[in-house]
């Protein structure tokens, strides 16, 4: 039969262990396993970075009842857009001109003669450049095009403004993961010290997924934000001695 004093001592030790583990949970502890003497922690790292590439689609459209007139107006709009971009300092290699399109609305499968205008024409000029600041500034300075009669606007991603990308993702990935690793180890060392143990070797690691969102607080990156918010949560398991 177990001595009453022995049972009391065992209960006290279990209570102390639960108290330490409860304290550590509030400090980032993920799991504490007394059986195999290991601790699982999560390391967090966040960073704001600037986009390094911009794609800006300038869509324009025209409507009319004469094919030639619509096509000619579209060609003039295209030339005006290209001239505007070159006036802003963009080079030929940064400007992509898409073919013009003119659609006969009466010829569509479900078309009818009730359409107010028979022909609908669209065109696109796309800017692709690593000079994100210049692209953003140009997008805010399109008033001369509008005053010239260019009907800006269109369908598809980026038609409403520049889309900002982070193409040098791998350049910022390594430092972010290193920071998450340091953060996790600091938590593990603090827990080990409070538990009266020593932190042992790293048993396993899961780098997790780096999430990219808009720096303004949105949960995902829709491309409209020039500044990106990177966040990674990595999971590590350490031995305790």
Tell me: pLDDT of 4 over 50.
no
**Mean pLDDT on 173-186:** 94
Domain positions in the chain are 26-50+168-240, 53-163
Question: β-pairing, 38-50 with 199-206?
Answer: unpaired
Q: Look-up: residue for tokens 């970075």?
A: 49
Reported as a single tens digit per residue, the pLDDT across 76-122 is 999 999 999 999 999 999 999 999 999 999 887 665 556 789 999 99
Backbone angles phi, psi at 136, to 5 degrees: -60, -40
Q: Look-up: residue for tokens 């969102």?
A: 213
CATH architecture of 26-50+168-240: 2-Layer Sandwich (3.30)
pLDDT for 7 equals 42
Question: Measured between alpha carbons, how far is 100 from 155 in angstroms, rounded to an integer?
Answer: 14
Stronger pLDDT, 1 or 219, i.e. the higher one: 219
Degrees to nearest 5, angle at CA 67 with 127 and 124: 5
Q: Are 32 and 18 in contact (CB under 8 A)?
A: no
Furthest CA-CA distance within the chain: 104
Provide the β-strand partners of residue 95. Answer: 127
pLDDT for 28 equals 53
Q: Look-up: residue for tokens 């290209």?
A: 82
Taking domain 53-163, whether its CATH number is 2.40.40.20 is answered by: no
CA proximity to 130, closest of 156, 161, 166, 157: 166
Note whether 26-50+168-240 and 53-163 share their fold.
no
- Band (71; pLDDT cuts 50, 70, 90): very high
Reported as a single tens digit per residue, the pLDDT across 95-104 is 999 999 999 9
């Amino acid at each position: 039969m177990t001595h009453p004093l022995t049972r009391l001592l065992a209960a006290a030790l279990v209570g102390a262990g639960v108290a330490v583990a409860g304290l550590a949970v509030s400090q980032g502890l993920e799991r504490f396993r007394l059986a195999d003497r290991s601790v699982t922690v999560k390391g967090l790292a966040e960073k704001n970075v600037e986009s390094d590439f911009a794609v800006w689609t300038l869509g324009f459209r025209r409507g009319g009842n004469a094919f030639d007139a619509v096509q000619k107006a579209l060609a003039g709009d295209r030339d005006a857009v290209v001239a505007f971009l070159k006036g802003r300092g963009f080079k030929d290699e940064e400007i992509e001109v898409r073919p013009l399109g003119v659609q006969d609305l009466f010829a569509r499968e479900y078309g009818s003669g009730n359409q107010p205008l028979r022909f609908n024409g669209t065109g696109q000029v796309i800017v692709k450049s690593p000079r994100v600041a210049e692209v953003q500034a140009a997008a805010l300075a399109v008033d001369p095009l509008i005053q010239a009669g260019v009907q800006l606007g269109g369908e598809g991603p980026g038609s409403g403004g520049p889309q900002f990308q982070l193409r040098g993702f791998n350049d910022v990935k390594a430092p972010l993961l290193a920071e998450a690793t340091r953060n996790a180890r600091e938590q593990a060392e603090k827990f080990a010290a409070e538990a009266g143990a020593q932190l042992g070797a790293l048993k396993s690691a899961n780098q997790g997924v780096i999430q990219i969102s808009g720096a303004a607080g949105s949960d995902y990156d829709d491309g409209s934000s020039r500044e990106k918010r990177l966040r990674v949560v990595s999971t590590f398991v350490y031995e305790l001695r």
